[in-house]
């Protein structure tokens, strides 16, 4: 597959200057560094391995977790990273792929648009990306992917928009949430800085970060329209070089299903969970089972371990597809294993992953 990507910053800046707030500080880092740029991730993980950044397996990465002297200098190749980023972009591929790695390869045969970033001190910021897709697979030509607004309340960011997310240490993919599919519009709450707990009883956790999102899935689906997508991820580093993570996502509500606070609580406690690939032997029909168990959810755990004083790191991720309130142990698991090598001198990352499916019962 061959693709091209261009950026320009002079002419288009004037065209979309109205999208940047009057209180925006030019050059100031935005609230988040978006996934999609392998070079940027390489630099952030090198800072992590040297002890300057605590957590790196949850993207987008809050800019507050990056050393202050690097926040305004780091740039994503194709996403706004500071309040001075404004311009146009165009990308295309001869054979677009549906399975992407961490790199932001084109999803369509062609896409072009405008983008900008803005920041208001350390308390608000966001990015605007407006694009037109040629021959889109989903039939949606006009897109706002990567557009979001964020407000900081204490040590928490409240975000509204459509942000790409990458949960897990893998470079070739994530078993639970990656940027393969287009981002969904929704709201999110996440820590601005992964400071260790102040309570003495929990100081062993070390730096930690929590993210939760509630998105609206696309309409005109083959199963249920107006489905909601919920996700949460917790990562922490009890010792330097060892990052542990647990993630959970669920689909619930939707056309023909009940949707309310009780539905959300049933989803959280897994009372409404159903098997994704149900084996219906005692039920009269699969439809009856789906009517009783309306939500589908998965859970994943992951580990990234960087060997001290070396450029080597190992990572592992496991996804469990089936669990409910009668058996919380995830079953039908998938495994992702990988090794990576990074160096300031080589300036690139080597990664190798393998996918293993275990038919656990």
How far apart CA 6 and CA 256 sit, in angstroms, is 45
Provide the number of structural domains found in the chain: 1
pLDDT in the model for residue 329: 67
Q: Which tokens go with 72? A: 């305004």
pLDDT of residue 324: 61
- List pLDDT tens digits, range 57-70: 999 999 999 888 88
**Domain coverage including residue 231:** 3-358
Asked if 133 contacts 111 with a C-beta cutoff of 8 angstroms, the reply is: yes
Contact yes or no for 224/251 (Cβ under 8 A): no
Q: What does the pLDDT read at residue 343?
A: 67
Please report, for the domain that includes residue 213, its CATH number: 2.40.160.130
Show pLDDT as tens, one digit a residue, over the chain (361 residues).
333 333 333 333 333 334 444 344 556 889 999 999 888 898 888 888 888 898 999 999 999 998 888 887 787 777 888 888 888 888 888 877 778 888 888 888 888 999 999 999 889 999 999 999 898 877 888 999 999 999 999 999 999 999 999 999 999 889 999 988 899 999 999 999 999 998 888 889 999 999 999 999 887 766 677 888 999 999 999 999 999 999 999 888 877 777 878 888 877 877 766 554 444 444 555 555 545 555 678 899 999 999 887 878 899 999 987 666 566 667 778 899 998 887 655 544 444 444 444 433 3
SS3 content of the chain, % helix, strand, coil (to 5): 15, 40, 45
Sign of CA dihedral 338, 59, 35, 296: positive
pLDDT of residue 272: 61
Per-residue pLDDT, 20: 41
Q: What is the 3-state secondary structure (H, E, C) of 160-206?
A: EECCCCEECCCCCCCCCECCCCCCCCEEEEEECCCCCCCCHHHHHHC
Contact 157, 181 (CB under 8 A): no
**What local confidence, expressed as pLDDT, does residue 46 receive?**
86
Q: So what's the pLDDT on residue 11?
A: 32
pLDDT of residue 15: 38
Q: What does the block give as tokens for 42? A: 């390489």
Q: Which residues of 254-286 are buried (b: 16+ CB within 10 A; e: fewer)?
A: beebeeeeebbebbbebebbbbeeeeeeeeeee
């Amino acid at each position: 597959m061959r693709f091209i990507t261009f950026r320009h910053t002079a002419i288009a800046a004037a065209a979309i200057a109205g999208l940047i707030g009057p209180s925006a500080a030019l050059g100031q880092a935005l609230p988040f560094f978006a996934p999609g740029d392998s070079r940027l991730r390489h630099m952030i993980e090198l800072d992590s391995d040297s002890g300057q950044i605590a957590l790196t397996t949850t993207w987008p990465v809050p800019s507050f977790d990056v050393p202050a002297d690097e926040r305004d200098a780091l740039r994503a190749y194709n996403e706004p990273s500071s309040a001075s980023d404004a311009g146009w972009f165009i990308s295309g591929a001869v054979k677009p792929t549906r399975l992407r790695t961490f790199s932001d390869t084109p999803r369509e045969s062609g896409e072009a648009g405008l983008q900008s970033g803005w920041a208001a001190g350390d308390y608000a910021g966001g990015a605007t990306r407006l694009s037109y897709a040629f021959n889109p697979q989903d039939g949606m030509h006009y897109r706002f992917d990567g557009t979001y607004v964020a407000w900081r309340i204490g040590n928490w960011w409240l975000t509204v928009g459509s942000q790409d997310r990458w949960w897990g240490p893998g470079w070739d993919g994530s078993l639970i949430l990656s940027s393969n599919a287009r981002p969904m519009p929704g709201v999110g709450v996440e820590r601005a800085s992964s400071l260790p707990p102040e309570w003495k009883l929990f100081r062993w956790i070390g730096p930690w970060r929590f993210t939760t999102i509630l998105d609206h899935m696309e309409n005109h689906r083959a199963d249920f329209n107006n489905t909601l997508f919920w996700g949460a991820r917790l990562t922490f580093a009890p010792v330097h070089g060892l990052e542990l993570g647990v993630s959970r996502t669920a689909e619930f509500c939707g056309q023909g299903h009940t949707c309310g606070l009780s539905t959300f609580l049933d989803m959280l406690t897994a009372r409404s969970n159903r098997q994704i690939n149900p084996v219906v032997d005692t039920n009269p029909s699969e439809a009856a089972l789906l009517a009783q168990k309306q939500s589908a959810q998965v859970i994943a755990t992951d580990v990234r371990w960087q060997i001290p004083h070396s450029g080597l790191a190992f990572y592992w991720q496991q996804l469990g597809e089936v669990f409910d309130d009668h058996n919380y142990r995830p079953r039908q698991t998938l495994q992702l294993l990988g090794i990576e090598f990074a160096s300031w001198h080589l300036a690139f990352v080597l990664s190798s992953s393998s996918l293993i499916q275990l038919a656990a019962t």
